[in-house]
Every structure is written in structure tokens, then in C-alpha cells.
Amino acid sequence: MCSLSGRQRGGKMVLQILRPPLLKHLQTASLTCVVSRNYSAKATIKQGEQVTIAGREYLTDQMTNVTSHLLSHVGRNLHLQKYHPLNHISQRIVQYMYQKYVSSRGNPLFSVHNQIHPVVTTWQNFDSLLIPKDHVSRQKSDNYYVNKENLLRAHTSAHQCELIGMGFDNFLVIGDVYRRDEIDASHYPVFHQVEGVRLCTKRDIFGSHQNMDSFRMFENGERTRQKQGVHIAQVLQLLESDLKSCLLGLATTLFGQDVEARWVDAYFPFTHPSWELEVKINNDWVELLGCGIIEQEILSNTGAQDKIGWAFGLGLERWAMKLYSIPDIRLFWSTDSGFLSQFQFDDPATNFKYQVYLIDTYTHPKKKSTSCCYRIVYRHMEKVITQEEVNIIHKRIEEKATADLGVTMR
């Protein structure tokens, strides 16, 4: 019996390297070197074992490929952690949706589901979303399977059907998602998504009229690039413009009113038509989210056949990295105060850039030259970093600063 919770974490060692002061010292360079030992627990779990994931038990089989190291991330719930950058962004998104869609009595229409268990069935993750049986996204090499029937959700879309089936018409799902991936500065096997779903009745689309029977949303038409066969074109247009204005509004609320944005046609098995929203950041087009009109077959399967709807999904890390200039996705998992303490603001809408800290300045009274002392935290995201490795990087920073900024190193 092997029980795993979210608490298995490697030890952390903090080294302080203080450079010996120079003879005529105006400044000492201070280096804090944080050595992390997170990668000791990579063992895969054997077949036929009982494994507990966030309080639920599963029997492993030949499909199991979760590792104890990966499972140590389950339950961290970074999106729920106070002051965590992912929490700030998700709060801003929730706030935006709350004020964008209100009932006639002034209450928010959207409900927020941010603590749904991350283990889902293959039916939830794939079949319920019309993902074909032989689709590449089901591969063992791309997912973390708990056993043949269950996996760690690969996207928050996995919860669409159950929530629609429960009667929710407007909802957000916020949670951790898991995909097998090579780790680098922008990829990590665990990240966080926000899923949004909005369903509309005839009344939502046309408003209340005396004779609602004369208004129709469905027809037996042809499926084209622009629409599903069952949707009447004018109805689809209203829904599409609601979706696009909602998401453009969200992007400009967070990235600024002047941000350049564009819609790109996309394909998802569960929406048609589908789009991606891109915004221009530092001269690069960055994909922010995927969205589309929910396949009517999904709504019929969940008992919502008299409604039409849209959905979107976005990755919180991508948004946070762009908004706060966070250079490496692995930093979100840091328990190091050097990272987290920078996000301790109560208003999630605070404009902020992650940075290296300036800890002291000094102007020489006679020479009038100013010394600036910065603290840089060196930390390798996967292994123990040695002092020699730190010295090489530090030397390069010194050389680059001297060449590009014309400063003198001390």
C-alpha cells in the first residue's frame, strides 16, 4: 500500500555566499544561492498497488504511469494559495466574469468551481468532449494515467459535461491540469487552467417576448466552416459576438485597453466554430486562449438540448508570466520567499513586474559615483546547483552588465 499526498517535498538548503570585501570597498556583492533537492522521488508506481490521490484510492494497472514525484504536486493548489500569482490572476478573471454577467437582481450569473478532484475518467477527459477513440491526445506518452479508466485531467474541459448535466448554465472551472511534457522554462507537467462555459436559452438570445414560439434557434441545415448544421446563422452570430466581446474584454482588462489583439481560426473536437485569441506582447503574438461554440451533440448528451452555448479555456501560467514578466514556469512552484514575497499585495489588480531586487545604493561624496547593490537568487529548477556553476553565471552577468550598461563591477 502506497499512500501519496501533496506533502512530499524535497529538502531545501540555503547557502549564502558572501564575496570577500575588496580593500577599498564601497560595495559587497551578495549572492544568495538556493539549492533545491526536489528530484529524489521519481519512482514510478508498480502495477497492482493501491494508490491514494487527494484522499481517493485507485488500483494501479499496466496503464499506470504516474510517478510519486508527479503526485507530490497534487494538493498544492497553487491557484488557491493566498498571494500566489496564479491566485491573483484567477481572482481577476472571476471578478471580471462576475461583473460582466449579472442577473436581473444584480447577482453574478457565473458560479466558480475551483476544488474539483483532479482525477477524472477517460470518458470525462475525452469521450464526453467527442474526442475520437484513436485521437493522439489520448496517448499514454502525453498523459498521466492512474489506471486504464482514470487519469489526472489533461484539461479543465473534462468537467464541462458533469456541470452542465447538474444544471449549471454559467460557470468557471479553475484547477490544476497534467500533461507529460519535457520540462523547460515554459513547460511543466502540471499547470493551471480556467474553463468558462455559458449556455443561453431562447430568452437569453432574443429577450422576453409575448410569443416566444415564433423565435427559433435551431434548423436542420448544413454544417459549414462557419457553423454547425443545427444552428440558425443569426442566432450563432449573436452568440459569437457575446463570446468574443466577453473574451476581448477580459484580455484588455488584464493586458491594458491598448493591447493589440486578433482572432485566429482554430479546431477543437468539442467546439465549432473555434478560435484562438492572440495578443501582441513585446512585438510577439501570444496565444492567450482557445474558445468556440459548444458542439450541440454535447449539450444533447447532457440534457441541455434546448440551449446553445460557448466555452473557452486558458492557461493561467501563460497569463501570469506575461503580466508579471515571470521568466520561468518552474518559479510558480517555488516555496522560496524571494519569489513569493513579491506578490504580497491585497488588490489582485496591482500592476507589478517580477524583478531582481535592488537592496542598497550609495553615492560616494567626493567621486559622486553611485554604487548599486543587487541581490540575485541563483536556483536550478531541477538539480542541486554547485558554487562553480553559480560563479560562471555570475561572471557572465558581470560581463554583460559592464559591456551593455557601462558600469564598473565591484
Site for ligand DAH, residues 192 to 221, rule: CB under 6 A: 195
309 binds ligand DAH (CB under 6 A): no
DSSP letter for each residue of 65-105: --BHHHHTTTT--GGGSTT-HHHHHHHHHHHHHHHHSB-TT
The conformation of residue 173, written as its DSSP 8-state character, comes to E
* Cell 490521490 found at: 53
Q: Which residues pair with 192 in a beta bridge?
A: 176
The helix-helix angle for 233-255 and 85-100 (nearest 10°) equals 140
311 binds ligand DAH (CB under 6 A): yes
175 binds ligand DAH (CB under 6 A): no
Grid cell for residue 20: 570577500
Q: Please, what is the minimum distance in Å from the beta carbon of residue 128 to ligand DAH?
A: 12
Q: Print the binding letters for residues 92-111 with ligand DAH: x by CB under 6 A, - otherwise.
A: --------------------
Q: Which residues of 29-44 are buried (b: 16+ CB within 10 A; e: fewer)?
A: bebbbbbbebeeeeee
Near ligand DAH by CB under 6 A: residue from 86, 291, 320, 323: 291
Q: Do residues 31 and 17 lie in contact, with contact meaning Cβ atoms separated by under 8 Å?
A: yes
- Calpha distance 30→359 (Å, rounded): 10
Site for ligand DAH, residues 325 to 354, rule: CB under 6 A: none
Q: Do residues 325 and 318 lie in contact, with contact meaning Cβ atoms separated by under 8 Å?
A: no
Near ligand DAH by CB under 6 A: residue from 157, 170, 228, 296: 157
Near ligand DAH by CB under 6 A: residue from 92, 292, 329, 385: 292
243 binds ligand DAH (CB under 6 A): no
Q: Please, what is the minimum distance in Å from the beta carbon of residue 82 to ligand DAH?
A: 26
Q: Please, what is the minimum distance in Å from the beta carbon of residue 163 to ligand DAH?
A: 12
**Using CB under 6 A, which of the segments 58-66, 75-83, 307-315, 389-397 binds ligand DAH?**
307-315
Size of the site for ligand DAH (CB under 6 A): 11
Nearer to ligand DAH, 163 or 205 (CB): 163
Give the list of residues 6+ apart from residue 338 with CB closer than 8 angstroms, or none: 32, 34, 357, 375, 377
- Calpha distance 120→187 (Å, rounded): 22
290 binds ligand DAH (CB under 6 A): yes
**Using CB under 6 A, which of the segments 145-153, 240-248, 306-314, 363-371 binds ligand DAH?**
306-314
Q: Print the binding letters for residues 358-397 with ligand DAH: x by CB under 6 A, - otherwise.
A: ----------------------------------------
Q: Do residues 137 and 103 lie in contact, with contact meaning Cβ atoms separated by under 8 Å?
A: no
Encode 199-254 in three state secondary structure.
EECHHHHHCCCCCHHHCCCECCCCCCCCCCCCECHHHHHHHHHHHHHHHHHHHHHH
Nearer to ligand DAH, 51 or 311 (CB): 311
118 binds ligand DAH (CB under 6 A): no
Q: Please, what is the minimum distance in Å from the beta carbon of residue 313 to ligand DAH?
A: 3
Q: Please, what is the minimum distance in Å from the beta carbon of residue 290 to ligand DAH?
A: 3
Alpha-carbon dihedral angle through residues 118, 119, 122, 125, given to the nearest 10 degrees? 0
Near ligand DAH by CB under 6 A: residue from 313, 379, 381, 385: 313
Q: Please, what is the minimum distance in Å from the beta carbon of residue 172 to ligand DAH?
A: 11
Q: Name the residues that contact ligand DAH, by CB under 6 A.
A: 155, 157, 195, 268, 271, 290-292, 311-313
